[in-house]
Amino acid sequence: MSYVDEVLEVVQKKNADQPEFLQAVTEVLDSLRPVIDANEELYKKNAILERITEPDRQFMFRVPWVDDNGQVQVNRGYRVQFNNAIGPYKGGLRLHPSVNLGIIKFLGFEQIFKNALTTLPIGGGKGGSDFDPKGKSDREIMAFCQSFMTELCKYIGADVDVPAGDIGTGAREIGFMFGQYKRIRGSYEGVLTGKGLTYGGSLVRTEATGYGLLYLTQELMKCHGESMEGKTICVSGAGNVAIYAIQKAHQMGAKAVTCSDSTGWVYDPDGIDVALLKEVKEVKRARLTEYAAARPNAQYHEGRGVWQIKCDIALPCATQNELLLEDAKQLVANGCKAVCEGANMPTTLDATKYLQENGVWFVGGKAANAGGVATSALEMSQNSERLSWSFEEVDAKLQNIMVTIYHNLDDAAKRYGVEGDYVAGANIAGFEKVVEAMLAQGVC
Ligand code: NDP
């Protein structure tokens, strides 16, 4: 039995009640087989896989808070500190009723490799609670956040563990948590990222994921002898990632012609009007029908369908499992050259396989949407220096990071004989960096 299979068996036994975590470990270790098989003796002797699949530590705690009716509510809080071989733990806080230990472990495990890919010194962690922010008043949100941080503050710190936002945790929640940390610890430090600009947040964080996606896509095209100029791009989603991906695509001379939300999609052959899209989605918080109504040549369709439009590049930026096998077939038939994921896991496994087998350059979200977490790490750097960098400075750093990420995964894939498999390349590049640091630091 190979070392990977031996470890998978042990991990399955130890974590039988955590299906999401088991799936993540299986997928990552499977894709790492080329590098693990090539170094089996060294890794086995040092129990690298046993150590990397076991969190450094995990905290679970009670979060009591009082609702608007004076009733005490109790939620469960989590923080999993998975691996800090290359830097302080870093990863978001998810507030959603579905949250449990297995899900937080799955996300924390993936975060190790994603963070390593950014080229910046950040380890992997994740946290959250089964608290549901939907329908809660601002006062209830504050009560929850303060109680959550009252316990969490014992385990985090600017050089220890730096949480960020995730589903359910936006600027408002980060603000309440930061205030409570400061109050209890008496320390003004960069203990959270995603902060407001007046108290330590970073410029470009809002644009970072969408812009970063385009910087990486541009480099991918360039290395295949293509430019962005004049390319037609299909984008899905109409949220933070999609809006700034479309904006940057236009700045690069390409034309993004689609966007979508959870009820329908728009095809605008003249190119999506970003200012109008922002007005509809960010200001009015309305449906895309309003966008189509304001643009003479735009068509609105109910349901899903952006991938049937002929394009050179496809950028799924909405949600998980939104690019299916049938969509992949349509994209290939239409001559699409590249698919880069702005969202997390938007492409199903069979669709990914079909795209790769049919010569489409495919870069998964772990690398392609890493601009967001990379800019959070730049926020940490600015906080440590007690300086704020200009928009241009942060943007230039982001661009440089995304170009480097592309080359790191391309090189890793080539070194292990899977040239052009950027998914394997991403896992290998992140893994190699973490393992090198673990080996250097001895048994810990
Ligand atoms: P937002 O909530 O801002 O936007 C998501 C968009 O996708 C919304 O327009 C939403 O529609 C739309 N959408 C949701 N479900 C569907 C669906 N089934 N079909 C079509 N459209 C749908 O999220 P973000 O833009 O921040 O995130 C998008 C993805 O990117 C997520 O997977 C996220 O995890 C990932 N990501 C985000 C990062 C960031 O920095 N923001 C960083 C890394 C990854 P509606 O308007 O109707 O709700």
Active site residue 126: yes
At residue 202 the predicted structure's pLDDT band, cuts being 50, 70 and 90, is very high
Q: What is the 3-state secondary structure (H, E, C) of the chain?
A: CCHHHHHHHHHHHHCCCCHHHHHHHHHHHHHCHHHHHHCHHHHHHCCHHHHHCCCCEEEEEEEEEECCCCCEEEEEEEEEEEECCCCCEEEEEEECCCCCHHHHHHHHHHHHHHHHHCCCCCEEEEEEECCCCCCCCHHHHHHHHHHHHHHHCCCCECCCEEEECECCECHHHHHHHHHHHHHHHCCCCCCCCCCCHHHCCCCCHHHHHHHHHHHHHHHHHHHCCCCCCCCEEEEECCCHHHHHHHHHHHHCCCEECEEECCCEEEECCCCCCHHHHHHHHHHCCCCCHHHHHCCCCCEEEECCCHHHCCCCEEEECCCCCCECHHHHHHHHHCCCCEEECCCCCCECHHHHHHHHHCCCEEECHHHHCCHHHHHHHHHHHHHHHCCCCCHHHHHHHHHHHHHHHHHHHHHHHHHCCCCCCHHHHHHHHHHHHHHHHHHHCCCC
Give the C-alpha separation, 385 to 74, whole Å.
Answer: 39
Judged against a pLDDT cut of 90, whether residue 211 lies above it is answered with yes
% of the chain at pLDDT higher than 70? 100
pLDDT digits (tens, 9 = 90+) for 283-336: 999 999 999 999 999 999 999 999 999 999 999 999 989 999 999 999 999 999
Closest atom of ligand 1 relative to the 242 alpha carbon: 25
Closest atom of ligand 1 relative to the 238 alpha carbon: 9
Tell me if 256 is assigned to some domain: yes
Whether residue 117 is found in the same domain as residue 73: yes
Judged against a pLDDT cut of 90, whether residue 356 lies above it is answered with yes
pLDDT digits (tens, 9 = 90+) for 114-137: 999 999 999 999 999 999 999 999
Whether residue 121 is found in the same domain as residue 261: no
Judged against a pLDDT cut of 90, whether residue 430 lies above it is answered with yes
Whether residue 219 is found in the same domain as residue 351: yes
pLDDT for 7 equals 97
pLDDT for 256 equals 98
Tell me if 212 is assigned to some domain: yes
Give the C-alpha separation, 339 to 65, whole Å.
Answer: 45
Whether residue 229 is found in the same domain as residue 99: no
Which residue carries 């989603």 as its tokens?
237
pLDDT for 348 equals 92
Ligand 1 centre from 281 Cα, in Å?
12
Beta strands across the sheet bearing 232-236:
255-256, 232-236, 313-316, 338-340, 361-363
pLDDT digits (tens, 9 = 90+) for 19-70: 999 999 998 999 899 999 999 999 999 999 999 999 999 999 999 999 999 9
**CATH number of the domain within which 125 lies:** 3.40.50.10860
Tell me if 388 is assigned to some domain: no
Give the C-alpha separation, 364 to 369, whole Å.
Answer: 8
Residue closest by Cα to atom 3 of ligand 1: 239
Question: Residue 160's CB: how many other CB atoms inside 10 A?
Answer: 14
| Domain boundaries, position 345 | 208-363
| Domain closes at, from 147, 164, 190 | 190
Whether residue 167 is found in the same domain as residue 247: no
Whether residue 320 is found in the same domain as residue 176: no
Positive or negative, the Cα torsion across 427, 429, 433, 435?
A: positive
Tell me if 432 is assigned to some domain: no
Closest atom of ligand 1 relative to the 320 alpha carbon: 32
Whether residue 127 is found in the same domain as residue 161: yes
Longest dimension (CA), the chain: 66
Closest atom of ligand 1 relative to the 205 alpha carbon: 40
Whether residue 220 is found in the same domain as residue 159: no
Tell me if 258 is assigned to some domain: yes
Number of structural domains found in the chain: 2
Residue closest by Cα to atom 21 of ligand 1: 261
Closest atom of ligand 1 relative to the 343 alpha carbon: 30
pLDDT for 133 equals 94
| Domain closes at, from 130, 156, 190 | 190
Residue closest by Cα to atom 8 of ligand 1: 239
Which amino acids bring their CB within 6 angstroms of ligand 1? Answer: 209, 236-242, 260-262, 304, 317-319, 322, 342-344, 369, 372
Judged against a pLDDT cut of 90, whether residue 247 lies above it is answered with yes
Ligand 1 centre from 237 Cα, in Å?
6
CA distances from residue 367 to 48, 119, 179, 373, 420 in whole angstroms, order as listed? 23, 11, 32, 11, 14
Instruction: Tell me what the mean pLDDT of segment 168-187 comes to.
Output: 97
Tell me if 306 is assigned to some domain: yes
| Domain closes at, from 295, 330, 363 | 363
Give the C-alpha separation, 424 to 362, whole Å.
Answer: 11
Residue closest by Cα to atom 29 of ligand 1: 343
Whether residue 167 is found in the same domain as residue 217: no
In the set 114, 126, 136, 366, the catalytic residue is 126
Ligand 1 centre from 316 Cα, in Å?
10
Ligand 1 centre from 343 Cα, in Å?
7
pLDDT for 27 equals 87
Instruction: Tell me what the mean pLDDT of segment 246-253 comes to.
Output: 98
Whether residue 127 is found in the same domain as residue 225: no
Q: Note whether 180 and 153 are within 8 A (CB).
A: yes
Tell me if 400 is assigned to some domain: no
Judged against a pLDDT cut of 90, whether residue 423 lies above it is answered with yes
pLDDT digits (tens, 9 = 90+) for 366-396: 999 999 999 999 999 999 999 999 999 999 9
Pocket test for ligand 1, best of 96, 261, 300, 302 (most atoms within 8 A of CB): 261
Whether residue 349 is found in the same domain as residue 214: yes
pLDDT for 320 equals 87
Ligand 1 centre from 178 Cα, in Å?
25
pLDDT digits (tens, 9 = 90+) for 75-119: 999 999 999 999 999 999 999 999 999 999 999 999 999 999 999
Ligand 1 centre from 262 Cα, in Å?
9
CA distances from residue 371 to 57, 120, 396 in whole angstroms, order as listed? 27, 11, 12
Q: Is the pTM of this model over 0.85?
A: yes
**CATH number of the domain within which 341 lies:** 3.40.50.720
Judged against a pLDDT cut of 90, whether residue 13 lies above it is answered with yes
Whether residue 356 is found in the same domain as residue 213: yes
Q: Note whether 371 and 213 are within 8 A (CB).
A: yes
Residue closest by Cα to atom 36 of ligand 1: 343
Q: Note whether 347 and 339 are within 8 A (CB).
A: yes
Tell me if 286 is assigned to some domain: yes
